[in-house]
Chain A
Amino acid sequence: MSGSILFQAIIFLAGAIICVPIARKLGLSSVLGYLLAGILIGPFILNFVGGKEGEDILHFSEFGVVMMLFLIGLEIDPKSFWNMRKTILGMGTSQVGITLLLAYLLFVTVGFDWKVSLTISMAVALSSTAIVLQTIKEKNMMDTSYGASSFSILLFQDIIVIFMLAAIPLLSDTTQQPAASDHAGGEHGYLLESLPLGLQALAVIGSVVGVVLAGRYLIVPMLRLVAITRLRELFSASALLIVLGIAYLMEVVGLSPALGAFLGGVVLANSEFKHELESNLEPFKGLLLGLFFIAVGASINFMVIGESPLMIGGLLVGVIVLKAVALYVVGMVFKIKTDQRLLMTVGLAQIGEFAFVLLSFAFQLNILDSHQLDQMLVVTALSMALSPILGIINERVVLPRFGTKEVDSRTTMDHVAKAHKVILIGFGHFGSTVGRFLRAYGIEATILDHDSNRVDLLRKMGFEVYYGDATRMDLLESAGIAEARILICAIDNPDATIELMKILKEKYPLLKLMVRAKGQYDAYDLHNLGIQNIYRETLETSVKLASDVLYHMGFRKYSVHRQAQNFIKYDEESLKRLANQPKNSDEYIFRVREEIAYQEKQLEEDLKRGIIDYDNQWDSEQMRLARKDSADI
């Protein structure tokens, strides 16, 4: 059933909104939820979306993968990317090589023609970036060796797929040129095809260098300009423009857009706009990926399964097993600990979305016939659908049998770093002092500030400061609030502070909140929100001033010092006492009146306390009196 775009959108969104929360509720990954939604609305159950439409949407939504790689690039600074080069090359080559060989042997044994076997093997060697990375991110395991090696392998596959696309035409008997396909994996018949090979290579190198240079000298200044306008939607538009621009450039020169986007992300990883870009693109990426998974689900052709269930089942099991074997061997060679190795083995064992591209391309070149294509597409889709299920079985049944989970040294180190993660919001006159002192102690807080000029200046001074409106949850999330132990709120505007605290208190009840209050009145509100650590910016300073007055009048410094500390303690307690009394009104217009009422109560409290008596410490008067009774002392 097809209809207007609106109707289709409603179907897709409704499917996602119904299935994904159910999957999450059951403790499954969102990927599985989307896949189920796709199967449900697909041609074989509800038939809201035809198989052809599903495939169209599949191609369109592959752009989600491009965005995901851009976002991943943002999280990897160039230095650590460079450090990864050996892992990427080593693990990538061995994984693709071993899988290719095993798959080729399998398919030849089953009775396929060698060309068909080779083509299918290439498709089989690739795993699904979308599924694997989404799963890793959801489990927050990017920093484990499982996460890092999976990522390295996937990145290598992204590179190698370009060569595969170039190699497949060589297997074709016909000289017939294929119609240009419109997939994201690599536009064949790209613009430069007519150019000589040398020039093509030059264009490729040139465009890579172009992306790097543009990132530094074009995109960052552009973002600064956009930041000054303070229009949020303009920033979203810029973020999209960057990703689309890079993807287009890559398509023109025949590189993988995903790879280009990743590179662009890496270039921008060190910029102050990292978090802002992340939070702007995150929803787009999420939606597109969701759409992608739904489309995969919708395009599973159950007819083909019905025709030859044994063949499909056999191929599916065979492919997954041989991929797993290859990954397990790679994991052993690269000395990954058992539990991490198993996670990787099962995690990457599906056939990836590139298979759709490669196989369709091979079909256009008449290497595969339509039956083989259908079969392999079904196997691919099924392997992707099975992947999250296998992951669950692995985690719940297999891994616990390994007794104690091996502790991965990298994980624990990151764990320590994360356990101390501090987020500092606001780097004005208050926050900057906090940040400077923490830094003097070797604690580098993740700093967020909404003044792009200040961000720029501070970054030049070597601080890690990010630009963005920190009262936006999505920005805080990309700054890593989920892993943070302590959040320092040094925002100047009390209303913004209180708004933020309300949300944080509800969403992250375990996060330690240390909050700046401008004065007594907002401290009172913060206390009523249940904030434990409130720092009135005026309290200590004014008590210090009063102390200095007393010193200058000739009082002993130590005695004044003690009394000053007592006074601060007393004042904090009295704030809490007064804050617990019911408020008269929340209306702004009554605020001034309220403040005066508060001050009145405060002064009354002071009267009850009276003026500071000389404390009895070190007082020998008592002893002198007692001496009259006893001569011993």
Chain B
Amino acid sequence: MKSVLILFAHPKFEQSRTNKALVDQIKNRSGVTFHDLYERYPDFNIDIMVEKNLLTRHDVVIWHHPLYWYSCPPLMKQWIDLVLEFGWAYGPEGNALVSKRCLNVITAGGSKEVYCSQGNNNYSVNEFLRPFEQTATLCGMEYLPPFAVMGTHQLSDQQLEDHAAQYGQLISLLQEDKSVKAIGNCKFLNDIPELKNSNAI
């Protein structure tokens, strides 16, 4: 069993129906540490030692956050800036995170269609997540495609439930350390065959 650390950043979690559904699905699983950054650090004063210990104790690191203005909420960025220290996470002796797996779990109001070269946003979600990808790569982690719940404004309750179930399945796969097949062709983990047979779109 691989241990999973979910770093969750949502400044207004109490108002987010989508994230509530997703978080409820995985929060109390054994082997999963759900770490609510805005609840833990309302004053943005991140305890770096605590965060490093958490990272060391886990095999999979998930950045779970809404996509705001094509990026993460500020506390998540603060976390990256402060915790991923030179000489620890990267740099000559920075190998604390090497060979851990890492991915973004994001929610976005816009649909997948608006995130492409023809859409309003001009670039794909994968392109917008490049900074995270490169951050993980620089730290020697294996960066997986994102798990994305898009078009949240239009989701029916049923659809939302399916997404949540899919998130749960994904966590199980990661815990079992299954090699996720055909990752190269796959833009989103939502699309991998193992999760395809669910009812989600």
Contacts and interface: CB of A to CB of B under 8 A. Distances in A.
Interface of A: 555-561, 614, 617-620, 623-624, 627, 632-633
B81 to A, nearest CB: 18
A627 B153 contact: yes
B13 A556 contact: yes
A618 B39 contact: no
Interface in B122-161: 152-154
B153 A557 contact: no
Given A561-B43, A633-B114, A617 B12 contact: yes
17 contacts: A556-B14, A557-B42, A559-B12, A561-B42, A561-B43, A617-B11, A617-B12, A618-B10, A618-B11, A618-B12, A618-B68, A619-B15, A623-B153, A627-B153, A627-B154, A633-B110, A633-B114
B39 A556 contact: yes
Contacts of A619: 12, 15
Contacts of A624: 153
A633 B40 CA distance: 32
Given A556-B39, A558-B11, A624-B153, A632 B114 contact: yes
A326 B36 CA distance: 77
Nearest to B110: A633
A559 B12 CA distance: 7
A627 B42 CA distance: 32
Contacts of B154: 627
Contacts of B15: 614, 618-620
Residue among A558, A561, A617, A627 with max Cβ neighbours from chain B (10 Å): A558
Interface in B94-111: 109-110
Residue among A618, A619, A623 with max Cβ neighbours from chain B (10 Å): A618
Nearest to B18: A620
Interface residues of B, number: 21
Contacts of A614: 15
Contacts of B153: 620, 623-624, 627, 633
B112 to A, nearest CB: 13
B66 to A, nearest CB: 8
B118 interface: no
A573 to B, nearest CB: 22
What 3 A-B pairs are tightest by C-beta distance, nearest first?
A: A561-B42, A618-B12, A557-B42
A560 B68 contact: no
Contacts of A633: 109-110, 114, 120, 153
Given A614-B15, A617-B12, A623-B109, A560 B114 contact: no
B152 A620 contact: yes
A558 B42 contact: yes
B38 interface: yes
Contacts of A559: 11-12, 14
Given A624-B153, A632-B114, A633-B114, A557 B11 contact: no
A558 B120 contact: no
A401 B40 CA distance: 66
A559 B14 CA distance: 9
Contacts of A623: 109, 153
B199 to A, nearest CB: 23
A226 to B, nearest CB: 48
A560 B12 contact: no
Interface string B1-29: 00000000011111110000000000000
Interface string B25-53: 00000000000001110110000000000
A561 B66 CA distance: 20
B109 A557 contact: no
Contacts of B12: 556, 559, 617-619
A244 B114 CA distance: 92
A530 to B, nearest CB: 32
B42 A560 contact: yes
A558 B42 CA distance: 4
Contact of A632 (B38, B43, B120): B120
A557 B120 contact: no
B78 to A, nearest CB: 12
B114 A558 contact: no
A633 B153 CA distance: 9
Given A555-B14, A633-B153, 7 more contacts: A558-B42, A559-B12, A618-B11, A618-B12, A620-B16, A620-B109, A632-B120
A623 B12 CA distance: 15
A557 B36 CA distance: 11
Contact of A556 (B38, B43, B68, B152): B38
A65 B154 CA distance: 90
B68 to A, nearest CB: 7
Contacts of A561: 42-43
B114 A557 contact: no
Nearest to A620: B109
